Structures are given as C-alpha cells and as structure tokens.
Chains A and B, each alone.
Chain A
Amino acid sequence: MAVYEHDVLVIGAGLAGMRAAIAAQQMGADVAMISKVHPVRSHSNAAQGGINGPGVGEDGGPWEEHAYETTKASDYLGDQDAIEVLAKEGGREVLQTEHWGVVYSRKPDGSMAVRRFGGMGKARTFFVGAITGQAILHVLYEQLMRPSVYKAMRNYEEWFVTSLIMDEGQCRGAVAMNIRTGELHAITAKATIVCTGGLGRVYEPSTNALICTGDGISLAYRAGAPIMDMEMVQIHPTSLKGSGVLITEGARGEGAYLLNKDGERFMTKYAPSMMELASRDVVSRAEQTEIDEGRGVDGCVFLDMRHLGEDLIKERLEEIYEIARDLVNIDIAKELLPILPGVHYIMGGVKTDVDGLTSIPGLYSAGEAACVSVHGANRVGANSLLDTLVFGRRAADHAWPWMQGKTFKPIPESVVEKDRAMIRGIMDRPTNGDRIAKIRRDMGMSMSANVGLFRTPERIQKQLDTLKELRARYEKVGVEDKGKVFNTDLLFHIELGYMLDCAEMITKSALERKESRGAHTRLDYPNRDDVNWLKHIVLTLQPDGSEKMTYQPVTITQWQPQERKY
C-alpha cells in the first residue's frame, strides 16, 4: 500500500478548495488537493452573475451595508459574527482575484463595473459578463500552474474519496480511490479541508452539475461532524424549462422582467419595491404561486429580456444568449424565455466556526459544503463566490499555525481495508433488475415533490417513508461495470449513498422546523417564529450509530430580527 502524507489535504478543487490550497501553499505547507474531477471542471464554473465586493471602492459600499443585507436576506438565521467577517474580508479577496488576473468588466474610467443583484439595496456586484465563476475558477487554476506551485503541490486529480480517516477523535486525512486504477489509498494529513460543494442533485430537476452529490457533507457526517441548517435548500427563481439549467440572476440585475401568461409583471403583487430583485426565496414563491394559480404556461413563467437590446445582451449576457439558443432554440433578444424555480444551493452543511473549523480537530470545511453560517435561511445572490474565497483562505490560515509541531501518525492498513471491503461488497452484488439511476431519479423526483418550495408535515413524513424504501433498494442494487479502470458505475453507486444521507438530513430537519423562514416554507406554520425557532437545527451521528438532533443559538451582533419586506 502506497502511503501519502501531507500537511494539508484539501478535498474538492472548486473555488473554496483552490483558495485554501493557494493560501496554505503560500505559508509553506506541503499541500495536496484531491478532486473527483479536474479542478476546472468544478461546479464553481456555473456561477454566472457575479461576486459581491463589499468595501471595494465606492461601488462596493461600506461593509456594514452588505452585512445587513446579507443578514436580512438570511431571514435572520445567519450568524452575524460570521457575516461580519464575510463582509469585512470579502473586498480584499475580490481585489486579490483581480490582481491575479480576473478580467472583470469595467466602467469607462477603467475601474471595475457593478451590476445589481437580488436582495441588495444597490449595485455592488462585480462580474465578468455571465461567466464570473468560470473566470475566477480558471484564474485560480492559473495560479496553481505557476512552476513553483505546480512542482510543490500534489494534485490527486480524478481521485474519489470514500471516507475520512478518524483516529482518537481527530481527522487524519482520507481514504480515496484513484479513478484511473481503481486502487484505494490512505492519504494522511495533519489538517483536512472539505470543500466538496453542494448537493443539488439530490433533487430532480436541479440547476446543479451532475457531480454535485453532497459527498463532503456526507463524509463529514459519517465521521461524526455536526451538520447544520440542512432544511434550508435554495430554490433559484430562474432555471430553464426542460433541463433546469441556470439562467443568471444577473439577467434581472440588468433589468429583465418576470411575466405571467397575461404579460403581467406579477412581482408588483409580491415585492412592490424590489420587484424582480427581491430575495430569491420571495421571487421563487411568487413564481410558483402564479403557476399554481393558473397564470403560468406549461408549468413556467417568462423572463423578458427583449427590452434590454441585443448589444447589452451580447456584451453582458452572452452565455445566457447561447444557452437559450442552443438548448431551447429561443432568441432572448426577441422572444420570451420560459423559466421556473429550480433547486440551486444548500445553505446548510458541515457546521464550522469563522475559521472553517468543524467540531473535529483537524477537520475543516469551506464553501457550499460548509455552514458557517453566513447564508442562514436564504443566500443572497453573488455571495456564494465570496463565501468560498473568504472561508477557503481562513480555513488554511487557521490550520497552518494549529498543525505546527504535530507529527504524522502511522495509519493502520485496516482503515483502507474497510473501504475495500465496502467496494467488494458492491462489486460482488448480483444485478437485480433495479438500477442506480432509477433509485436516484425516484429520490430526486420525490424530494422535489415532497420537500420542495411549499412543505407540509404530511408530505415530509411521506418522504421519510420513501427514503426508507429507497435506502432498502440501495442496499440491494449492484453495478454492471466490473472493471477497475474508470468505473463510473461504481462511483455513482457510492455517490448515491452520499446523496441518500443528505436527503435524509434535509427531510428530518424540514419536519423539525415548525415555522416558515427564508427558503423553508411550511404551509401549516406560515409565519416566522422568532420566539421558538431563531436557532439552527444540528444533526450529529453518534459513535453508536444513532443520530442526535440538537439546537444552536443564532449569533446576533448588530441587527435584531425584523419583519422582512422587499
């Protein structure tokens, strides 16, 4: 068995992972990054509209404004100490990416241009056309291609993590499969940072990429780390009819309207002052209400960009122009685009403090996989990229001094053998007519139907029963591909296990929270209840295999909860 040792092991190579890796490398750590896809294939790519830049010049605005708007959008479930960190340090991160080479769009004087995003009182969102995430992701990868960095950093590219290594209450790295060989190895580390992104594929349809299967959240949960706010699933107002592909909020930021089948700008009824740029949960509920009450067409409402003009569309929304043309054959400069709410982002995740540290020494988390919580019950658009950079760096900043003086401990072969046995179990199982894809689809469709935008206790309970059945099917289903090299059939099997863990956590938390707050709408408890529910729901797997549900108070610094109006 080859043994690999590193100071820092970053799991996931999206923006949070790469930012953490760069920071740790700059401080002199021996860093390794492990990812089931090549770093530039990561889903950070898909963030289109922009990144908020509190404190960057006049446009970024004072950090307090951004922090307040983030708190308000979170429906006061965000922890304000963490939100303050995000707002105070975010601007520096945005400027750092500009200095590294991100080609932010400019104003005539050459300074960075801003656009408006939902939930923000003013335009403070910096952007690169409609490819902001891609542009930043590629620039961070450019930094990793510097010869000095490339030679020093180990990149386990297309390796798949099967478990975290736990020893005496500490995390000491991960067991992972080299997808190219099918072999399992222990990668030991003094600090492990989980940056594996979200879990959108637990739902069907979803704006998320096929790789967003909640791996890290499940891995941390199985290792005993507390998982928080899992009932808070963001449903984005504008996903494309059919495939569910994301249409950026930047479109509305540039002035697009939302229309129902009568051509009415229905947001006048739901958010008269912020209109289309109200918070995402508000806009999604408004759309679904229009559709449910018969004012949609074919389960969709329309995004109207015709008045923006072809020049602006081609300069600032080119990606959207191409997606609409290629996927639904619509010219957005001339026609209405059918859209509907679509599952987009998990506000919850691995519970961390403001330094990305989980409750387990040596285990950190950042980005969408983590829950600091800066997003609370509803994330503001253009805050996800900011979150990845600020807390990716902070996790590395904390881990490096912490690990000084610590030494590697030999990892017994039995740690890897356990996962090998798990994989043998899957490979040796006979195929039984059922399929991984069928179970995954049944999970996704039932999650959307029962734990989606509008929730009732009956439906949530029904989903808990459905998940039990799905789990039973999962335990019996086998794989067709019996090979070792690039066996995606096997990977999908293991991923489905991660997804079922996440689905169960979402559903249990949704049943528990008896109020409506942010993205979580309970039809039987239509109002926010600050007396009983101004707190986080935390799930922890106990050493004996049982699960414990606890509560965590919300940290309030400056802003007392108020009624949320847009």
Chain B
Amino acid sequence: MKIKLKVKRTDPEKGTTGYSKYEIEAPESTTLLDALIQVREYEDGSLALRCSCRSAICGSCSMRVDGRARLACRAKIIALTRGDESHELSVEAMGNMPVIKDLVNDMESFWAKMRSVDPYLRPVGPEPEAEYRVPNETMIDLTHTMNCIMCGACVSDCTVLEVDKSFIAPAALAKAYRFAGDPRDGHTHDRLEKLSEAGGIWDCTRCNMCVEVCPKGVAPMNRILQMREMALEAGLTNNTGARHTNIFTKSITDGGRLNEIWMVPGSVGMFNLPRILTEMPGALKMARVGKLPFNQMIPPGMPGSHKMQGMDRVRNLIRKSASLKAPKPEVKD
C-alpha cells in the first residue's frame, strides 16, 4: 500500500515552520505510528515525534491527522484514507498546546491543570489495616476513568479551551471525577465546590469533541456531566452554572419552554445588576427581533407565569428523560 504524508514541521532553532512530504510503501495493517517510524528511520532522521509502547497504553503519540486528534498507534492508515491511496494525510502536532518541535508538544499546561484538581486520594480518618471495602461496581466505574493515558487528545481538540485558556479542560476534569467518585476519598464536597468555580465543570459547552477523540473510551464530557449532577445533589447551587441549570429546568417544567427574559438574571443572580447590565445589549437585540415574548414577564414558578399548551405531555417527557442514563460511548478510531 502506498502512503502519502504531509507533516507540519517546526524547527525551534531556526524559528521556522513548514511542511515535509513523504511517500512510503507499507503493508495494509500499517498504523500511522508505524508509517511515521518508517519515515524517521529510513527517510528522514530529523523528524521528531514521541512514541513508546505501540499499543495505546503510554499515551505518547497523540497528534492531529486531517485536523482531528488521534493516537497514532491506534490509527490505521487504511481507515484514515478510507483505502484511497491518493489521499495525502495531513499530520501535525496537537492543538491547544505549544509545539516544541515537529510533532512534539509542550504538555506543561496539561500537567499544571492536572495538578490543579488535587489529583490524589485524600481519605479521612485512620487508614484501615487491610484494604478499604468498596463496591466492585464503583471500582469498575473508576477504572473506566483510570483508563485515561494522559495522551492529551481531548485537550488538543477541546473547543472551549480554544477560546478560554482558564478552562481546566476535559482530561483534568475526568481525573477529578476519579476522586470525586471514589468512596475512599473524604473530600468529595470540597472537591465539587472547587470544581464548580469558574474554569470548572460548568464551563464545558457539551460539544462532545472530547468524547469523540478519546482513544480510550474515557468520555470526559460524561464525567463532567456526572460531576454536575453530584454538585447539584450536594447543594452546590450558588454559582452561575448551577443556577443556569436550575432556572433552565424550572422554566421548562413550569411553562414548557425556555423563558428568555428570566434566563440571565436567573443564572447570574437576580440582584447581580452589573452582570445583568452587561447582557443588556444582547437582550435589546433579542427584543427587537421578537425573541423576548412579553407574556413571559412573570418569572417561572410564580403565580400567573406563562404555560404552554399540553404541559402534561411535556412533564411526562421530562420524567422519562430523567430516568435515562448516558450510554457508555463506543470507541471509534
């Protein structure tokens, strides 16, 4: 099989970037990592990339292929090109992190965020003499998160991080779940409280990108959503994200549709005038195009608030969806 690669090169010593094109012959079973190693060993010894285990356990070889983060050792060339030998694969370093050289990222920001979630077990009370007694189901659930190999693919393609560098981002939040969900840990409430602050669990926009690019089925976004539920159950509602969720839910269960008038005050706080004022230009724009229906002036839940027709059916739907759980995603390559 013929393989065509166009690799983005970064030369830190000259301060230049550019592209190198390679064409190699390799068997059909070849992965992207095999191809790059073949290039490095027999075509161009100056190509820099990280790799070690070849079996998706060390997490070294994440990079972007045709614009999407992948673990090179898990990516079969034939699947990437859909068998089209003329397809030139575009390969570059991960996004959202600086590049040291060629396909090698500087991952310090990744690790700094990991450290920011207190990523170590903090039990309270005396250590048991033997092991902690905990349910197997919980351990299996946490093992799915421990499957994370810190490859950085989810951080590379996180759409929130692209615009907001303070976002803790999927990998570290998944790590946080591994402790928040661990019955041996004694600081669940503190952890959730800290995670509810700006940059934390409520800043995810649920774009699902991290779930799609994760090569290990960790599904970071689902862990973030699980922690949101845990935070609400723990009564951690005094923050924009939680209030937004609550006013959203209240609006739908009460009237059947999103009450755009009360959404902002309900999220940022009813008396948070400075913050509400910053939203005014947007609100006026919405009013001009008729997106702020004035029959919704009464806040959801108050006597006389607006109700759409067929509220019984809406409430039924809500009851049904509440009993559903997010399925564990299939890992796609």
Contacts and interface: CB of A to CB of B under 8 A. Distances in A.
Interface stretch (A129-137, A402-410, A461-469): A129-137
Given A40-B59, A134-B57, A113 B143 contact: no
Contacts of A41: 50, 52, 58-60
A110 B133 contact: yes
A508 interface: no
Q: Please report whether the interface of chain B is mostly helix, strand, loop or mixed according to DSSP.
A: loop
Contact of B123 (A56, A57, A99): A99
Interface stretch (B41-49, B84-92, B268-276): B41-49
A106 B135 contact: yes
B100 interface: yes
A27 interface: no
Nearest to A138: B146
Interface residues of A, number: 68
Interface stretch (A71-79, A411-419, A446-454, A477-485): A477-485
B74 interface: yes
13 contacts: A99-B121, A99-B128, A112-B131, A134-B147, A145-B114, A209-B54, A209-B58, A245-B55, A479-B45, A480-B45, A486-B12, A486-B100, A487-B48
How many chain B residues sit at the interface, stated as a range, is 35 or more
A20 interface: no
A45 B57 contact: yes
Contact of A323 (B55, B134, B147): B55
Contact of A210 (B54, B130, B150): B54
Contacts of A150: 115
B119 interface: yes
A437 B40 CA distance: 9
B127 A99 contact: yes
Interface string A110-145: 111100000000000000110100110011001101
Interface in B232-262: none
A142 B120 CA distance: 5
Interface string B112-146: 00110001110100011011111110011011001
A326 interface: yes
Interface of B: 11-13, 29, 31, 40-42, 44-46, 48-60, 74, 76, 100-102, 104, 107, 114-115, 119-121, 123, 127-128, 130-136, 139-140, 142-143, 146-147, 149-150, 179, 182, 184, 331, 333
Contacts of B102: 486
Contacts of B120: 100-101, 142-143, 145-146
Given A104-B139, A110-B135, A45 B58 contact: yes
A435 B41 contact: yes
Interface of A: 37-38, 40-43, 45-46, 56-57, 95, 98-101, 103-113, 128-129, 131, 134-135, 138-139, 142-143, 145-147, 150, 180, 209-211, 242-243, 245-246, 315, 319, 322-323, 326-328, 435-437, 479-489
A483 B11 contact: yes
